Amino acid sequence: MNWVFSFLKPLTKRIAVGTTIKTVGTVAELIIPFLLSYILENVIQSNKVSKIIFFGVLMIICALTASLGNVIANRMAAKTTMKFATRMRKELFSKTLNLSARSTDHFTIPSLEARITSDTYNVQNFIGMIQRMGIRAPILLLGGSVITLCMDKKLALVMIATLPIIFVVVYSISRLGVPLYSTVQQSVDGMVRVVREDAQGIRVIKALSKVDYENARYDKANLTIKRNETKAATIMGVVNPVMTLLMNGGIVAVVAFSAYFVANGTSSTTTVIAFMQYFTLISMAMMSLSRMFVMYTKCAASAKRISKVMEQENELKIIEDDDKGDKNFHISFEDVSFSYLGKENDIKNVSFKLKRGETLGIIGATGSGKSTLLRLLMRFYDANSGVIRINGKDVRAYTRDELTAMFGVVFQNDFIYADSIEENIRFGRDISIADIENATITAQAHEFITAFSDGFSHAVTTGGTNLSGGQRQRLLISRAIAGKPEILILDDSSSALDYKTDANLRLALSRDIPNSTVITVAQRVSSVKNCDLILVIENGAIIGCGKHEDLMQSCIEYKEISDSQMGGAFLE
Alpha-carbon gap, residue 268 to 264, rounded angstroms: 10
Quote the CA–CA distance of 443 and 470 in Å, as a whole number.
11
H/E stretch holding 447: helix 446-451
**pTM (predicted TM-score):** 0.74
Predicted pLDDT at 422: 93
Q: What share of the chain is helix, strand, coil (3-state, %, to 5)?
A: 65, 10, 20
Pairing of strands 419-420, 459-460: antiparallel
At 567 the pLDDT is: 61
Q: How far is CA 23 from CA 15, 88, 212, 304, 364, in A?
A: 12, 27, 57, 31, 71
Report how far apart, in Å, the C-alpha atoms of 96 and of each of 109, 222, 308, 313, 381 are.
9, 26, 11, 12, 16
Question: How large is the angle between the packed helices 162-175 and 211-236, nearest 10 degrees?
Answer: 150
Helices marked H in 152-201 — which ranges? 153-160, 162-175, 177-200
Judge contact between 242 and 169, C-beta under 8 A: yes
Q: Report domain extents, the chain.
A: 2-309
Do 322 and 503 meet the contact criterion of CB atoms below 8 Å apart?
Answer: no
Three-state secondary-structure class, residue 226: helix
Q: How many CB atoms neighbour CB 175 within 10 A?
A: 11
Handedness of CA 397, 398, 400, 406 (dihedral sign): negative
| Predicted pLDDT of residue 542 | 93
Q: What is the pLDDT of residue 180?
A: 80
What's the rounded Cα separation, in Å, for the pair 556 and 197?
Answer: 39
Burial pattern 481-507, b for ≥16 Cβ within 10 A else e, equals bbbebbbbbbbbbbeebeeebbbebbe
Q: What is the dihedral of CA 139, 256, 287, 137, to 10 degrees?
A: 0
Q: For each successive 10 residues of the chain (572 residues), what is the average pLDDT? A: 76 90 90 81 74 86 91 91 91 89 86 88 89 85 82 76 76 73 81 78 75 86 87 78 77 79 76 77 77 80 88 87 89 93 87 93 87 92 93 92 90 83 91 93 92 92 85 91 92 81 89 91 86 92 92 90 68 42
Domain 2-309 has CATH 2.40.110.10: no
Query: What span, in angstroms and rounded, lies between the C-alpha atoms of 145 and 152?
Result: 10
Selection from 33, 28, 299, 292 nearest residue 137 by Cα: 292
